[in-house]
Amino acid sequence: MKLLRDFFQYSKRISFPIIFITFFMVLEFWILETYVESKYTQLDLVSYDTNIWSYLAYIFGSVGFICMIYFGISERSILAGVGYVGYLLFVYLLLFGIFKRTVEKVNLSINTWVENEHFQYEYTVSRKDSTDFRLHSTKKDGFLFFDEDFEAINAIRKAKNLPSLYDLQDGDTIQVNYAKGYLDVKYLK
């Protein structure tokens, strides 16, 4: 009986971390991952990865400034506000180091909620055979060749009752709608 009681006491202590980790795993791999892959091309994700520090500096700078003003007014000392911002920076960097991928996916998901600019690219289908499939921009500013991009564009086309990308012939053109959010990263619309 004592062994069973000890087991339940121990399980109470570790249940929160297990629930917390499980929540972030479900959020990361089943919700955010699929949403981000359906909205962004691989080249846009690479662009975001190379510029992530500027995006995070923008987000943290905005939150830090607001917190510094709030805590500076509530504590009646600007030094207290700066101290709180330093503490927030430490916690933010610690959490960012641990949950980097989740933070990136959350930022990219929130980016799709705000539409600052809407534009359209025209792509020409280039196919040599059934396995070699590419989309070349008619403005010569890029092309798409990743399977993940084709799947995302194809899902949007199916939702609009347009023919599948894989049914198109060499030389056909398609229109792909994009938008830019608050991070200035384009995503499929």
Query: How confident is the model over 95-127, as pLDDT tens digits?
Result: 666 667 777 888 888 888 888 889 888 888 888
- pTM reported for the whole predicted model: 0.66
Q: What is the pLDDT of residues 71-87, one digit of tens each?
A: 667 767 666 667 777 77
Question: How many CA atoms does the CB half-sphere of 138 hold within 13 Å?
Answer: 12
Which class for 119: exposed (0-12), middle (13-18), buried (19 or more C-beta within 10 A)? exposed
Phi, psi of 50 (to 5 degrees): -75, -25
3, burial (CB in 10 Å: exposed 0-12, middle 13-18, buried 19+): exposed
Q: What is the rounded CA–CA span in Å between residue 62 and residue 12?
A: 38
Tens digit of pLDDT for each residue in 149-177? Answer: 888 988 999 999 999 888 888 888 899 99
Q: From CA 67, how far away is CA 89, in angstroms rounded?
A: 11
Q: Are 102 and 28 in contact (CB under 8 A)?
A: yes
The backbone torsions φ and ψ at residue 173, rounded to the nearest 5 degrees and listed phi first, read -115, 150
As a whole number of angstroms, the distance between CA 184 and CA 189 comes to 14
The pLDDT tens digits for 39-68 are 998 888 888 888 777 766 666 667 767 766
